[in-house]
Structure 1
Amino acid sequence: MEDSLLTTILLPAALGVIMISLGLELTRADFARIARQPRSVAIGLANLLLISPALAFAIATLFDLSPGLAVGLVLLGASPGGTMANVLTHLARGDTALSVTMTAISSLAAAVTVPLYLELAANHFDAGALVGDVAMGGIVARVLLVTVVPVSLGMAIRARWPERTRAARPTVAKVAVTLFLLVVVGAVIAEHETALENLGEVAAAALALNVAAMVVSFSVAKLARLDDRSATAIALELGVHNATLAIAIGASLAAVLTIPAAVYAMFMFVTGGLFARLMYHRNIRV
């Protein structure tokens, strides 16, 4: 009963509030920015939509994770960037506009990319029985409902009541962070036996994914001759995922799929914060 309540009501509700809070930060100008920064946005999204899932596949294989945990790690790697990536990018004096644009586009694209990588991972790691006979159309609809719909709602609210939205954003942001923490704690409690049994294995793989994603994406951005501010935004977008989305989708299929995202969420702000502090000193000199 408790697991059902968490999966069917609490997780979607929490994710909905978090995604609405993202929508409150967005305007159409954020999407129009693609035309002004096509190269930076394209490189950032290539890192987020291609390199991050590929790294998750490689690390799950390298650490020889069990099928459920391996699929859960790929689900996390395929998830879009989170709003905290935008905050850390701002604190690091990175390109916040680029960060917000990548979060917005990847959150909308998640309706296609997350189900796609979930199916690929289930087939690759022979976890079809664990994930179940769930039609991809159903997963697409589910991701659509918890990403595109609430983000669009948040944007509509901002457009209709800009002054009220501006005043309410700090409170909504605090509620979103609190709900995020409750989701992570709830996921760990719900699967505490599996989490404890595999903590060392999952923590090492999750940390490897986190560090590798930031290092590789930052390096790719610099090789593409983007400036430090843009490279900072891209690296943090890959380091700080929307773990709540991964937990919500995972919990709706098999509880074990939530463990990698829950463990990852426990330290991604620490590594992301350290990277942001390091880059702040470089970016502030620009």
Structure 2
Amino acid sequence: MDSALTTIGLPIALGIIMFGLGLELTPADFRRVRKNPRAALVALGCQLLLLPALCFGLVLLLDLPPLLGIGMMLLAASPGGTTAALFSHLFRGDVALNISLTAVNSLVAIVTLPLITGFAISWYDRTDEVSMPLAEVLQVFALILVPVALGMLVRHLRPAFAERADRPVRIASAAILVVMIIGVVLAERERIGEYLADIGVAAALFCACSLLLGYVVPKAFGVPGPQAIASSMEIGVHNSTLAIYVAVEVLDDVAISVPAAVYSIIMFVFAALWGTWVSRRENPVRTQERRPSSTDGAPV
């Protein structure tokens, strides 16, 4: 499951995407998140409390084998991935909120990931120990902050260029996303059938519920549409690469990594479909502006 696509191609692609996102951000965007922290606090509550509880309920309901159950809980404990900001960008979410949440979640996961995964391990009477690798935390920060900061610097120095780049960046981001989906499927094509049979239903249910939870709960707390979309993507798009790394390198069991591998395929498709629907729901004016009226061209 560890290929050139995930170890080299994916970080480079995400770095390019993050630079593009930075072209649309200003320091004021992050100040807004800090001054109005409700959306961030609600999203963190979903990530740290509701999501593990939801996942554990699915594990029990579907009566998963121990290693797959541990893998699901490891996935639930993993912070949002950098790809969440890409989906948020494509579907008009608050990208600054995504970047802030990913950074905070990555730090908090140093404590919460071992606790949640350790609970699952003890539930199945295993004796493995798990820790959050510091190298992975630093990699997440580098992959997010450095290219975003460069993009923001370019926007500050060349605002006209940043404005012109908006549409090409969105198109390029969508193209990169499609390539990533195809690449992941091709890389796992020999085992994808077996993986889906083992954990497909659980991964699909967890992904759908995560996206829905990340949107509905913030809306219930009065969080506006763009931030609710950002929260949904942050909660639903997990750092599957981190979960696979911990399963293989720390817990030394490939079977535990299977849920994250399957989820990494399903989440791309589900997040794209969900993002398309929820973006249209939150931005009906844009849709209506693009749709010609039935009276267009009619004589007055």
Q: Same fold (TM over 0.5)?
A: yes
1:228 aligns with 2:225: yes
Aligned-pair distance for 1:231?
1.9
Aligned-pair distance for 1:92?
2.4
TM-score normalised by L of structure 1 = 0.75
Q: Deviations over 1:71-126 (max 9, x none)?
A: 11111112222233222223322333323322232233333332232222211233
Structure 2 counterparts to residues 232-247 of structure 1, below 5 A: 232-247=229-244
1:83 aligns with 2:76: no
Query: Could you say which structure has the larger radius of gyration?
Result: 2
Q: Distance in 2 between matches of 1:22 and 1:91?
A: 11
Q: Deviations over 1:168-203 (max 9, x none)?
A: x99x978898678756765776xx4xx755633410
In the other structure, the counterpart of 1:50 is 49
- Is the deviation greater in 108-117 or in 155-164? 155-164
Aligned-pair distance for 1:41?
0.9
- Is the deviation greater in 274-283 or in 92-101? 92-101
Q: Distance in 2 between matches of 1:96 and 1:113?
A: 24
1:176/1:152 Cα in 2 relative to 1: closer, same or farther (>3 Å)?
farther
Q: Deviations over 1:216-257 (max 9, x none)?
A: 232211221222322222122222212122122222132112
In the other structure, the counterpart of 2:122 is 123
- Is the deviation greater in 145-154 or in 87-96? 145-154
Q: Deviations over 1:12-71 (max 9, x none)?
A: 666765775676556894654442221111111111222222212221121111111111
Q: Distance in 2 between matches of 1:15 and 1:119?
A: 29
Indicate the percent of aligned positions where both proteins have the same amino acid.
31
Q: Distance in 1 between matches of 2:112 and 2:11?
A: 19
Consecutive unaligned residues of structure 2, counting only runs of 5 or more, are 286-300
In the other structure, the counterpart of 2:112 is 113
In the other structure, the counterpart of 2:201 is 204
Q: Deviations over 1:137-171 (max 9, x none)?
A: xx34344344345545556766888889x89x99x
1:19 and 1:147 in contact (8 A); partners too: no
In the other structure, the counterpart of 2:288 is none
Q: Distance in 2 between matches of 1:179 and 1:150?
A: 17
2:74 and 2:117 in contact (8 A); partners too: yes
Structure 2 counterparts to residues 1-286 of structure 1, below 5 A: 6=2, 17=12, 24=19, 25=21, 29=27, 32-128=31-127, 132-133=128-129, 136=131, 139-148=132-141, 150-151=143-144, 154=147, 192=191, 197=194, 199-252=196-249, 253-285=252-284
- Opposite residue 235 of structure 1, the aligned amino acid is S
2:214 and 2:236 in contact (8 A); partners too: no
Q: Greater helix percent: which structure?
A: 1
TM-score normalised by L of structure 2 = 0.72
Consecutive unaligned residues of structure 1, counting only runs of 5 or more, are none
- Opposite residue 245 of structure 1, the aligned amino acid is L
Q: Distance in 1 between matches of 2:87 and 2:185?
A: 20
1:185/1:247 Cα in 2 relative to 1: closer, same or farther (>3 Å)?
farther
1:113/1:64 Cα in 2 relative to 1: closer, same or farther (>3 Å)?
same
2:82 and 2:144 in contact (8 A); partners too: no
Report the count of equivalent residues: 271
Q: Specify the SS of the correspondent of 2:284.
A: coil
- Is the deviation greater in 237-246 or in 83-92? 83-92
Q: Distance in 1 between matches of 2:248 and 2:182?
A: 16
Q: Distance in 1 between matches of 2:105 and 2:97?
A: 12
Q: Distance in 2 between matches of 1:71 and 1:140?
A: 18
Aligned-pair distance for 1:258?
1.3
- Opposite residue 233 of structure 1, the aligned amino acid is A
